Amino acid sequence: MYETLEEEINSHADYVLHEPTLKNFVQPREWEEVEHTDIALNPVFISIYDKNFNLVESSPNLVQNKLDWNNDEPERKPFYTEYNSIRLLISQSKLIHHGEVVGYLVIGVSTKHNQLALDYLKTALTLIFPISVLLTFLFARFIAAKSIEPIFNVIKTAQAITENNLSERIQLPKNKDELHQLSTTINSLLDRLEIQIVKAKQFSADASHELRTPLAIIKGTLEILIRRERTPEQYNKKIDYTLKQVNRLDRLVEQFLLLSRVENNSLNLQTSLFEIKNEVVQSIDRFDVLLNEKQIRVSTRNLHPQKIDNYHEFFEIIIDNLLSNAIKYSKLNGEIIISSRSENNLYHLTFEDNGIGMSEEDLKFVQERFFRVKNDSPLHTSGSGLGLAIATQLAKMSNIKMTIKSQQHQGTKIILTLIIE
């Protein structure tokens, strides 16, 4: 603002200095301009001196006064002073003609209007600033509310999801930003959670059903025994039948506990070096009675000795469950073939039976808990549907690949692929 005043002073000074002599320094028409006659409207004050500092002429707005030359101030460099309580910006210059100083020029410009403008601006800012801050705050709050509204929607939806409406999902925002990624991640988490809860409910229902059957048989058998007196042979027969159901209950509970420990990773076992062929032979010996009952032959073809460093207890359970399944679903006088094949650093152990087999549809679910093959074969099986599920879980934990191939009414082949050093 004051730079504008300096420019105005310099322009007047240049105009006056353009005249060659003191007589013609200022034209009469110049003094008639409002800025030189009126002190109230942006006045410009001019005083002209000769070389002896005698006043030659002053602008009409100075009346009988004058602007004094100040020897302490530099030439053509504006400075401030007071004139009749008016703050002026002064510039003084020497008047030179043909290289000689012929006089002196003093020009002053009032800063009153500039100061009024500054005061007005200060007042305006004093009023506008808090209003601007308030409006900015309200606008920022509105924008922030709009920005976090999707987050509140995510929170609201997540809080509304309970066990009774697990299928509910968070609506994905249109923009694929961080919030979209967060919503997708939460939905994926809910998908996994829903699967686990559904599985837990299904497990509870299936486990209850499995336990209810032998308990009902035991209860019914005991109720029959107490109705009337029976011969010792009849008592022995019923007691023996009841003990079989108790043993079945015991096996079910063991399988439930094992499956729970496997899925919760609570089995803290160490690997050890053992012989695969020996484990297979020992498993066959453990099922000797059952094999004789169904008159099933077990053939070990090309069963090569091979040591492996793995979870010994897991491998034993896997072999027992696979052999148990093969016996359970084999026909009378059937055959189970156990063979092996080495390939680079892989060892393939195969269990093959000529039993009832399964359809392609059943193959999709056969490794799930409590699944039983739907088959029109008259062969009676009393499995719980847990053996293969447990074997599958243990195989995964042991880094053993399990491949199942089967054809209905022709048999099933299960191949275990182990990594050997």
pLDDT digits (tens, 9 = 90+) for 25-83: 555 555 555 444 555 556 778 888 888 888 888 777 776 778 888 888 788 788 887 77
Q: Which CATH superfamily is domain 272-419 in?
A: Histidine kinase-like ATPase, C-terminal domain (3.30.565.10)
Q: What are the CA-CA distances from residue 273 to residues 71, 254, 306, 308 (Å)?
A: 110, 26, 10, 5
Q: How many residues does the chain have?
A: 421
**Mean confidence (pLDDT) of the chain:** 79
Q: What is the largest CA-CA distance in the chain?
A: 160
Domain 178-263 falls under CATH 3.90.1150.10: no
> What confidence tier does 401 reach under pLDDT thresholds 50, 70, 90?
very high
- Nearest by Cα to 367 from 334, 335, 315, 406: 406
What integer pLDDT is reported at residue 15 of this predicted model? 59
DSSP state of 74: P
- Nearest by Cα to 386 from 402, 373, 399, 367: 367
Mean pLDDT for the stretch of residues 189-218: 76
Mean pLDDT for the stretch of residues 172-200: 82
Q: How many CB atoms lie within 10 A of CB 165?
A: 8
Structure tokens at 183: 């919503």
Residue 20 has pLDDT above 50, yes or no: no
Residue 362 has pLDDT above 80, yes or no: no
Instruction: Answer yes or no: are the C-beta atoms of 336 and 327 closer than 8 Å.
Output: yes
Instruction: Answer yes or no: are the C-beta atoms of 249 and 211 closer than 8 Å.
Output: yes
Structure tokens at 205: 């229902």
Residue 190 has pLDDT above 70, yes or no: yes
Q: Find how far residue 354's CA is from the centre of its chain.
A: 51
Comparison of pLDDT for 377 and 228, the residue scoring more = 228
Instruction: Answer yes or no: are the C-beta atoms of 326 and 391 closer than 8 Å.
Output: no
Which residues touch 344 (CB under 8 Å, ≥6 apart)?
A: none
What integer pLDDT is reported at residue 265 of this predicted model? 65
What integer pLDDT is reported at residue 2 of this predicted model? 46
- Among positive and negative, which fits the CA dihedral 198, 199, 200, 204? positive
| Residue whose tokens read 């930003």 | 177
The one-letter code for the residue type at 302 is: N
Mean pLDDT for the stretch of residues 189-193: 85
When mean pLDDT is compared over 121-130, 247-256, 276-285, the highest value belongs to 276-285
3-state secondary structure of 174: coil
Residue 243 has pLDDT above 90, yes or no: no
> What confidence tier does 201 reach under pLDDT thresholds 50, 70, 90?
confident
d(Cα 49, Cα 299) in Å, to the nearest integer? 136
Domain 2-110 falls under CATH 3.30.450: yes
Share of the chain above pLDDT 90, in %: 12
Residue 339 has pLDDT above 90, yes or no: yes
**Domain extent listing, the chain:** 2-110, 178-263, 272-419
Residue 255 has pLDDT above 50, yes or no: yes
Residue 280 has pLDDT above 70, yes or no: yes
Residue 1 has pLDDT above 90, yes or no: no
Q: What are the CA-CA distances from residue 23 to residues 50, 56, 65, 72, 102 (Å)?
A: 11, 9, 20, 28, 11
| Residue whose tokens read 């409002």 | 34
